[in-house]
Amino acid sequence: MQQSECMQLLRTQYLKDTKQKDNLSKLTNQAWREKKSECLTTIGGFPQIRSVLNSFEEKEHYAPNTNSNSTPCQEKLITTFRKDFSQKNNLSKLTNQAWGSEKNKCLKEIGGYNQLGTFLKNIETNYTETYEAKATIPSSAQETGGTNGGKTTTMQTAAQTRIQTGTTQSTATQELQKGREVIEKIGIYLCYGLIALLCIGVIIGIIKNTLKYIYSFYNTRRMTFIKVLLPKSDGKTDREQEKEIAKDMKEKVGRMSQLYNGLHKISELSTREKIMYKFFGKQKIVFIYQYENGQLSFIVGSYPEYISIIESAISAQFPNCSLEKVGKPQPFQKKYHDIMPLEPKRDPVYTIRTFKQMPDDPINNLIDTMGKISSYDTITAMLVIKPESSTFNAKRQKAAERLYKGLDLYSTKWRHRKNLLNPFKLISFLIQGPSEKLLSNKKEESVGMVRMVRAKEDSMNAIGEEAGNPTYRAGIIVISSSDVKGQARQNLKAMESAYNVYNDEYSNGLEDNNTKHDIFSGIFLYLWKIAVNFYLTGFFYKYSFFSTNELTSLFHFADSIYNRSPIIEWMQYKVLPSPANLPQFKDDEWNGKIMSGILAEKYKNGNLSEILKEYKNHRAVASRTLEEEKLTPLADYQLAHKGTSIEEKDGKSTINNNPILEQDGQKFVKEIVPGKTITGYKLYKNAVLLGTNIYRNILTPVYMKREDRTRHHYMIGKSGTGKSVFLQTMARQDLWNGDGICLIDPHGDLAEDVLSFVPKERAKDVVYFDAGNEDRPMGLNLYEINTLDEADRTVNDATEIFLKMFGPEIFGPRIQEYFKYGSLTILEDFEDRPTLLDVVRLFTDETYREVKVAKVTNAVVKNRRERTYNAMGDREKAEIIPYFSSKFVSFNTNRLIRNIIGQTKSAFNFDDVMNNQKILLVNLSKGKIGELNAQLLGMILVSKIYNSAMGRAKLDPKDRKDFYLYVDEFQNFVSGTFADILSEARKYRLGLIMAHQYIAQLEAGKGLGDSGGGKSDVKAAVFGNVGTMMSFKIGAPDAEFMEKEYSPLLGPQDIVGIANYKSYIKLNIDNATSKVFSMNSIYTKDYQNKKIVPLLQEYSAKKYGRARKFVDAEISTRLGMGADLEDLPDLGTPGEEQESATETSSEE
């Protein structure tokens, strides 16, 4: 401390009480306190202090160096101020004490507070210098000694010199003091600034983390998840090809590194993405191993705006993969669950073991462990990653350089300074104190590379190598759930052991923080559950930094060559993209209807309406609002619609045209109100929607043009795979487009389903042929012809029918000859129209035979009969006629079938049905009428349709309207007619849509009752002429055959393994067959009205059927089993009966 400061402190304390000079020790203690020793040394000890105190009392002799012309105001101020210089800090109090009532006057005289401060500063400076001189003079005088008066002048001169010198020294000291004060202030300001910056940094960090968490909390619900499925190479050829493509495991696994490399720049796609990454950490990708129900799935999730990028990246590396959208994984499905975050054992700059350092695929360890866990439990291993900047790579590179030199990972002092920022490290530092390295002033010497053991050197090499690869910030959490208490924890312990495969003794590894889990489980399990639900990295657990190779080791997709575990979910079949030239249509071709429904997909439970909401801007997607019935109490309705009145019409009550119903004694108003809105594909006038192609999560509607449908459509598939659903989907669209169709259903359910989709405006176009309706059978006469020119074709068709039914061994050449000539004989009588039943009667009824033979005009028929039948003896006739007639016994004796084929006039005209685009639905339920009868009726119907189509040759091509023949299980109705339809019917606008179960059904029959009977040329005609070909799930023999059609894109395993309601299809597009692609069928009930089904059935029965008593009487008479027609009572003609039924049905 300077002498002036000590003097000032001493003076201030002494002037408070001058008696204190008697106790210098107390005075100095109070004045200087802890600076006492320093000030005593500066002044010169207690003797000198006493002289200084005496100088304080000699006011007149050592007056302040002020102007002798001082005013009274100045004198008063000086007198008051020098008592205590500290009063300069409170000028208002000082001026009040010095001037009292004259304060304002004196302030004005001096020049205000600004001038006052300067004045006081001068007073303080001069006064201090004077006392310093005074303190010095007595000391000098003592040293001079004696009483020599001659020396007085010399002493005074010396004193004055000292005063001047002291004044100069004091001025320099003041300047130095000012500099120190400025430096102190700057230091203080810098400290404040650093503290402020630190606080701002902390606040910004808190805000950033808060924003990141808030963003994750709010946007996790937007995340989309996809399941990645890869094909399983089961065949020997496939496995050899795969091994040729990738010579070893490391090359195959390394594909995943390329995927991670490509995704790393996802945070730099745009300026906005960079901002979102910086402040919100948005670019988050989740990779999940999901083990449940005994199967392991590979799932990837992210925000919707990144999913397409991720899908493209996956597809680029794994071109044969299938990507399926799935819902958010549910890791907490069971009653009990446990969570295990895996944290790095050491600093993240150290790497874990990667696949490059292992002889086997590392995920085999994880998969095998999961395989040993009960299929009733679940395991979810979740890897959440975010791209990290290159800062960490530089850090890892520097660390590698230090480790190569044998130095610590970080500089020792920097490490300790950094540790002081960690509260736990700080506590440890305060308890243990600084280490020897921290206290040492020895600097780290620059050394070269050092030798180390091979394993350690490899670990160091790995750090340096991974420093050159992109890095991600990552968090690993493993979750298990179980219905057995404690089992989830055991499962996690097993998984922790499996993850030891990534541990390296000289580098890094992964471990469970048992302290958090065991001691604070109640707190941390709740927090970790939040981290799982919102996919947070480092949320109350240590996150890691992994390079692309490290991530690849932790998560990559399985390969069937190196990962053979049975729990892996493989792609059961190949998913193939649709062709680029699929038909597209304009909005003016839209018929106003849409098709929604259900797909055989897990994503959103296959709800097409929900899925297509993501495609709302697609040109082929539209929405509609459903109408719902609402029952409102009549009183409430009248209250809400004042002024309305109840109207009575035809015995029914209505209000505002809404019917009034009565339920439980209360009246309700039935209203039609808007319901929910659904989304679907548009349906077009000149096309049908077949389904949708789903390839890598992109849905593409598959339409088939009207013109392409005339090239016919063939489908094959096992029972229950979706054929009938597909036929129904197509048929209903034809109904809505106003086209004519004939649907032959050997089971009956399909016909009834299609009937429920008939629009109201087409109700009168419906012809519902129910072969099992005994009360009102409809006639179906195979031998109903208009001219003799049709006779040959009709007889040939009939022969083909029976040849198909009985086979060539039973219905041999001789039987065929009798049947043909017999049929030609009865067909020449147009007065008495024949039926199929009359063929047998021709050989058993002599009178009937003579009548018919007499009307034969065809010389060939006459001559043939004379040379064969008439030339036979009685014995031969007795043998051949029973054998021949036995083939028709079942038709003659079965009243149900007899009443259909025994009517001379068919219930409806097939030319009318085709040319006027009627709706002919045929129910040939085998359970009602028998398989053989169903076969017969089906083949008759096909023959009649074909003959009507051929009759269109007389029409102008412009007048030939499209007509579509749907035949389910068409192997039951296969004959040469089918081959003719495939070859010739296209030009007559007859399109054939046929479905069956296996190809052997098209091969030649082997005998009676063989439903696989047919003609070998039908199989050749199908695969030689059909334009569109598709297959659902089929058997191995058929898959080998179809492989030739689908080569080279598909193999037998793919064709066999396709899922139900999915198919492979080669589509006819603009008269050219496309490459095969996969397609999903749509199961839908849109526009279905089941209430109309019984009404339409009754309408058709009354309009086209006849009462059984009429039919029985007529057939019995014709066959000679009852009274003659003229003896029957007057029951009315069939025409009048049909007319009456039509009127009744129309009213209904």
Residue 1095: predicted pLDDT: 94
Residues 6+ apart with CB under 8 A from 6: 32, 35, 38, 39, 42, 43
Q: Indicate the fold that domain 706-774+907-1004+1015-1073+1087-1125 takes in CATH.
A: Rossmann fold (3.40.50)
Task: Yes or no: say if 268 and 470 are a contact pair by the CB < 8 Å rule.
Answer: no
State the DSSP code for 442: P
Calpha distance 120→139 (Å, rounded): 30
| Helix, strand or coil, per DSSP, at residue 325 | strand
In this prediction, residue 789 carries a pLDDT of 84
Three-state secondary-structure class, residue 286: strand
Residue 780's SS3 state is coil
| Separation CA 57–CA 17 (nearest Å) | 12
Query: Which range among 350-354, 528-532, 706-710, 1132-1136 shows the weakest confidence by mean pLDDT?
Result: 1132-1136
Whether residue 279 is predicted with pLDDT greater than 60 in this model: the reply is yes
| In the predicted structure, residue 138 carries a pLDDT above the cut 50 | no
Q: What is the pLDDT of residues 1020-1059, one digit of tens each?
A: 888 888 999 999 999 999 999 999 999 889 989 889 989 9
Is the pLDDT score of 269 beyond 60? yes
CA dist 801 and 808 (Å) reads: 11
What is the C-alpha to C-alpha distance for residues 756 and 1093, in angstroms, rounded to an integer? 5
- Best CA proximity match to 49, nearest among 61, 60, 40, 58: 40
Cis check for the bond before 1048: say yes or no (omega within 30 of 0): yes
Cα within 13 Å of Cα(770), Cβ side = 26
441-449 long-range contacts, CB within 8 A, separation 24+: 444/407, 444/411, 444/412, 447/405, 447/406, 447/407, 448/405, 449/404, 449/405
SS (H, E, C) 1039-1072: HHHHHHHHCCCCCHHHHHHCCCCEEEEECEECCE
Token readout for 680 is 């679907």
Using DSSP bridges, classify how beta strands 666-684 and 590-595 pair: parallel, antiparallel or unpaired: antiparallel
Q: Is-contact 753 1096, C-beta < 8 A?
A: no
- The answer on pLDDT for 973 being more than 50 is yes
Q: Which residue has the tokens 């895996």?
A: 342
> What is the reported pLDDT for 152?
44
- Taking the C-alpha atoms of residue 313 and residue 259, their distance in angstroms, rounded to an integer, is 6
pLDDT of 34 above 50: yes
What is the band of 741 on the pLDDT scale with cuts at 50, 70, 90? Answer: very high
Alpha-helical segments (H) within 902-1027: 910-915, 926-929, 931-950, 976-984, 1016-1025
CA atoms within 13 A on the CB side of 191: 6
Which residue carries 């001169």 as its tokens?
A: 157
- Average the pLDDT over 933-941 and give the result: 91
List, for residues 1079-1122, the tens digit of each pLDDT value: 999 999 899 999 999 999 999 999 999 999 999 888 888 776 55
pLDDT band of 1002, cuts 50, 70, 90: confident
Residue 91 CA: distances (Å) to CA of 65, 87, 113, 127, 1093 = 22, 7, 8, 19, 109
Cα dist from 971 to 110, 886, 923, 941, whole Å? 127, 25, 16, 14
pLDDT of residue 1125: 42
pLDDT > 50? residue 189: yes
List phi, psi (to 5°) of 507. -130, -110
Each residue's pLDDT tens digit, 663-682: 888 889 988 888 889 999 99
Output the average pLDDT for the chain. 83
With left for phi above 0 and alpha for psi between -120 and 50, is residue 1036 left, alpha or beta? Answer: alpha
* pLDDT value, residue 65: 42
Can you give the pLDDT at residue 788?
Answer: 85
The yes-or-no verdict on residue 489 having pLDDT over 80 is yes
For residues 541 and 543, give the distance between their C-alpha atoms in angstroms, rounded to a whole number: 6
Confidence of residue 236 (pLDDT cuts 50, 70, 90): low
Unique residue bearing structure tokens 């959208």: 325
- Position 1143 scores a pLDDT of 43
766-770/919-923 β-pairing: parallel
Q: How far from chain centre, in Å, is Cα 722?
A: 25
Q: What is the DSSP letter of 472?
A: E
Q: Tokens in use for 621?
A: 């997607």
Per the CB < 8 A criterion, the answer to whether 842 and 883 are in contact is no
The first and second tokens of residue 453, run together, are 């053991």
Query: H or E element: which one contains 396?
Result: helix 391-404
| First CA to last CA distance, the chain | 121
For the record, the structure tokens of 342 come out as 């895996």
Report the C-alpha gap between 802 and 792 in whole angstroms. Answer: 16
* DSSP class per residue in 754-821: HHTT--GGGGGGEEEEETT-SSSPPP--TT--SSGGGHHHHHHHHHHHHHHHHHHHHS-HHHHHHHHH
pLDDT > 80? residue 180: no
Q: How far is CA 648 from the centre of its chain?
A: 56
Domain range 222-389+470-554, CATH architecture: 3-Layer(aba) Sandwich (3.40)
Contact 46, 22 (CB under 8 A): no
Q: Give the residue-averaged pLDDT of 314-323.
A: 90
Is pLDDT of 1136 > 70? no
Look at residue 1142 in the predicted model and tell me its pLDDT.
42
Q: Is the pLDDT of residue 454 over 50?
A: yes
> Among candidates 1085, 1082, 1060, which has minimal Cα distance to 612?
1082
- Secondary structure class of 322 (helix, strand, coil): strand
Closest to 283 in 3D by CA, of 389, 210, 382, 393: 389
Tracing tokens 């249509």 back to the chain, one arrives at: 585
For residue range 772-793, list pLDDT tens digits in order.
Answer: 999 999 999 999 988 888 888 8
Tokens (6 digits) for 13? 């304390």
Q: 730 CB contacts (<8 Å, ≥6 apart)? A: 688, 690, 966, 993
- The pLDDT value recorded for residue 431 is 57
The tokens describing 39, both together, are 């000030």
